[in-house]
Chains A and B, each alone.
Chain A
């Protein structure tokens, strides 16, 4: 935490010096009627965008609205079918990311483009070595890197290995990389998806400083509160078109949500108080090591009772995935026990995903593409995953295709999956509809226990509403639900009880009523109990910078 804290204090200082954004007349970026189609799909249609220099411009829209396509065009990954790009008033022909970089555009991708086994310095230099002799250029690069980190208060140790840095610092390296290449325009694609609330706050402070130094920033996100918190102006995209542009201070979350979806949306979850009943699942001191011998679950104990939603909060990668896998029988236990009904599962009496499913435990995996579905399968085949041995879908030798198809059609009707075509390849459904199909499959059998990971990841606002309602409904009919989400808001609004995980351990267990985002955020970064004070391991970082 100290890195953030130290850096925070620095950026506070820097923030104090903030000059009002210089408003010049020529926009830093101007896109004029950009269009791009992929076959029959019109990803962008006559999109206009103006970004004023020294401002943060938010672009918001649902999945598939065309935000990423637009930015890919600006950064040279795609070529627009028609339309023009102006950078600082000059028309530019951007055909590759190289063109974009030389036009002063830098991009921080959602998934970092860093070499984990290289140092910070090497990563920053990579592709911009400026000479065949590394030694020489690395000296000048080091100076330049230190100058940049001073100027923008981006403290980072040039010799640290990327793989050993926390995500927040890795992102900082991405920003430095762009600045090193002379970027005056910075595109950030969903930058907060992997950050803790504290890291997010930290990032926003950095963006603030960059803005004060005259850098123009485009922030792509689907999180409304981030738009409200940091941007100067915001553009809303829907179905490949730019539907609206607002001064941030003149708009509201509800208005933006409505613009995004095209109808009124209920953002708040309404639910009655939980009435927990008997315990359905009890995990006692379970531990799990992965194939590399790393302890992923460390002495985790929890219980699920009928009629309650237990939320697991935590930055992704702190054992939530493994917890779901262990409880659903996908990965083995190395210690402890899980009791479901009469069955006690221990390392000596292991279980399987099949057996656990037969106990009435349904599982919506965090990552539907990795686990929850097979994109190459038809929807109807996805709709029976895990239940494919069920006698209702099988004859003695052949599968009963008709029954499978009817079942899928029923699910699609009940859970509003569109298009309602069981024979369509599942990859051709939108993210939200894929997720609804997976949820439908797991929720349809009225499971006693539902393990659900990231139920609304990559799902449109409209569908989120629907999914949340259904989860509450399941709880109210007596199911026990374990909810894992990196969206703190989601955990807070759905859960009755919240467990915080950090490095495979449970570091907090609070009633949802008493919890607030700030407290949970601190727990997620493991700063809640173990000293908000002065761990020394990051002192090196500051030392490097002040050298």
Chain B
């Protein structure tokens, strides 16, 4: 009854606090940059310009954003059922395998508009299948999903490595990659799409997948908050006893949620394999699955938050690369440090400054009130 029930207005919670957190992260990053003898202001300028300053930069930023939206949504959906899916990396990897196999199979026979929906389905099925096993083990055998999904990341890496080195490798190639798909299986790049309409933008890996990411976000929003299945997922996530009481088959919900999560993560494969590389290759997931956890955390497991967080991380990736490019003393490890600081302040320490703000805010409002009374 007498639990401290302090609330802040929404704009502070979802607007001001993240901004302060990002500012703090940059402040600490700036200090580190200053320590190694570089100009932090210059570095921030390069990062921001490198992420948004010109159309190619923006293209790369949005291309990364696309990946993060998929993996962020994947983590968020599972999280609503209180499942911590660390396996986005593996699910994306295997999803890419599904996309790739389908493209290798059909690219010589049918046009893109046939391949694309089939590739989305194949990707989803492969990703879902990869999430299904950990989900089954969690639901029926009580094996913790965190452990099993981590293990499935390794298994995915080993499987892909085996397939690329021994089975899918293009004849005579030294590189463990499949053959390049025919162009019928290439998702159009955004610069190509713009060119159809006569607008010219610089080439970048940004492709049609970003539209799919938008649809996925809208889908997740409707699914989680406006369907009975989403209702069941959220109830399970908040209160398993209540879910059982309400007649929800918790085991099926666990499996269903994880499959959906895996399918969402797998769409990274659409972006990378069909959109950018046009062949199956090693390591194309490059940690996007793991970053998705931070994205989801920062985005408060809500599609809108995830889109914003994805954009931030996309900018960090692209701006960071630019920074490493422009200032040779800033190495990739430094970029990782900056990204880590942002995750630390916006994710793990997200509520660090909340009590302080609460105090300031309540003091402020109290003073206001007394002022009014007087």
Contact = CB atoms under 8 A, between A and B. Distances in A.
8 A-B pairs closest in CB distance? A354-B247, A69-B2, A353-B247, A386-B246, A371-B241, A64-B1, A371-B245, A385-B246
Contacts of A353: 244-247
Nearest to A458: B1
Contacts of A38: 2-6
Given A352-B247, A374-B242, A43 B226 contact: no
Given A353-B244, A385-B235, A386-B247, A41 B228 contact: no
Contacts of A330: 244-245
A39 B7 contact: yes
A374 B236 CA distance: 9
A357 interface: yes
Contacts of B246: 353, 385-386, 388
B136 interface: no
Interface in B1-41: 1-7
21 contacts: A38-B2, A38-B6, A66-B2, A68-B2, A72-B2, A78-B2, A329-B247, A330-B245, A353-B246, A354-B249, A357-B247, A363-B245, A370-B241, A371-B239, A371-B241, A371-B245, A386-B246, A388-B228, A397-B227, A398-B227, A399-B228
Contacts of A352: 247, 249
A66 B3 CA distance: 11
Nearest to A390: B228
B235 A374 contact: yes
B5 A365 contact: no
Interface in A274-319: none
Contacts of A363: 245
A433 B244 CA distance: 23
Contacts of B84: none
Interface string B105-128: 000000000000000000000000
Interface in B208-248: 222, 226-228, 231-232, 234-235, 238-239, 241-242, 244-248
A466 interface: no
| Interface range for A | 35 or more
Interface in B345-368: 362
B1 A371 contact: no
Contacts of A381: 231
A431 interface: yes
Contacts of A41: 5
Contacts of B1: 63-64, 68-69, 431
A39 B362 contact: yes
A357 B247 CA distance: 8
Given A357-B247, A371-B239, A385-B235, 11 more contacts: A39-B4, A63-B1, A68-B1, A355-B247, A363-B245, A370-B241, A385-B246, A388-B228, A398-B227, A401-B226, A431-B1
A372 B242 contact: yes
Interface residues of B, number: 26
B235 A377 contact: yes
A41 B222 CA distance: 35
Interface string A358-384: 000001010000111111110001000
B247 A39 contact: no
B244 A385 contact: no
A64 B241 CA distance: 26
Contact of A39 (B5, B234, B242): B5
Interface in B227-281: 227-228, 231-232, 234-235, 238-239, 241-242, 244-249
A365 B245 contact: yes
Interface of A: 38-39, 41, 43, 63-64, 66, 68-69, 72, 78, 328-330, 352-355, 357, 363, 365, 370-377, 381, 385-386, 388-389, 393-394, 397-399, 401, 431
A420 to B, nearest CB: 21
Interface in B132-171: none
A377 B232 CA distance: 12
Interface centre among B2, B231, B239 (most CB of A within 10 A): B2
A365 B238 CA distance: 17
Interface of B: 1-7, 222, 226-228, 231-232, 234-235, 238-239, 241-242, 244-249, 362
Contacts of B2: 38, 43, 64, 66, 68-69, 72, 78
A385 B362 contact: no
A401 B225 CA distance: 10
A377 B233 CA distance: 12
A375 B3 CA distance: 14
B362 A371 contact: no
**Residue of B227, B249, B362 ringed by the most chain A CB atoms within 10 A:** B227
Contacts of A66: 2
A37 to B, nearest CB: 9
A374 B238 contact: yes
A233 to B, nearest CB: 23
Nearest to B236: A374
A355 B249 CA distance: 11
Contacts of B245: 328, 330, 353, 363, 365, 371-372, 385-386
A68 B2 CA distance: 7
Given A39-B5, A352-B247, A377-B235, A399 B242 contact: no
A375 B234 CA distance: 12
A386 B249 CA distance: 11
A381 B245 CA distance: 14
Nearest to A66: B2
A328 B242 CA distance: 13
A39 B6 contact: yes
B238 A388 contact: no
Contacts of A389: 228
Which one of B7, B231, B247, B249 has the greatest number of beta carbons of chain A within 10 Å? B247
B274 to A, nearest CB: 27
A358 B344 CA distance: 49
B238 A376 contact: yes
Contact of B231 (A357, A370, A371, A388): A388
Contacts of A376: 234, 238-239
A394 B231 CA distance: 11
A59 to B, nearest CB: 14
B144 to A, nearest CB: 16
B102 to A, nearest CB: 27
Given A353-B246, A354-B247, A385-B246, A377 B238 contact: yes
Contacts of A394: 228
A357 B239 CA distance: 19
Contacts of B228: 388-389, 393-394, 399
A402 to B, nearest CB: 12
A374 B234 CA distance: 9
A371 B231 CA distance: 16
- Point out which of B7, B242, B244, B248 has the most chain A C-beta atoms below 10 A from its C-beta: B242
Contact of B222 (A354, A355, A398): A398
Nearest to B6: A39
A147 to B, nearest CB: 37
A441 B353 CA distance: 40
A377 B2 CA distance: 21
A322 to B, nearest CB: 13
B216 to A, nearest CB: 16
Contacts of A365: 245
A385 B234 CA distance: 12
Contacts of B231: 381, 388, 399
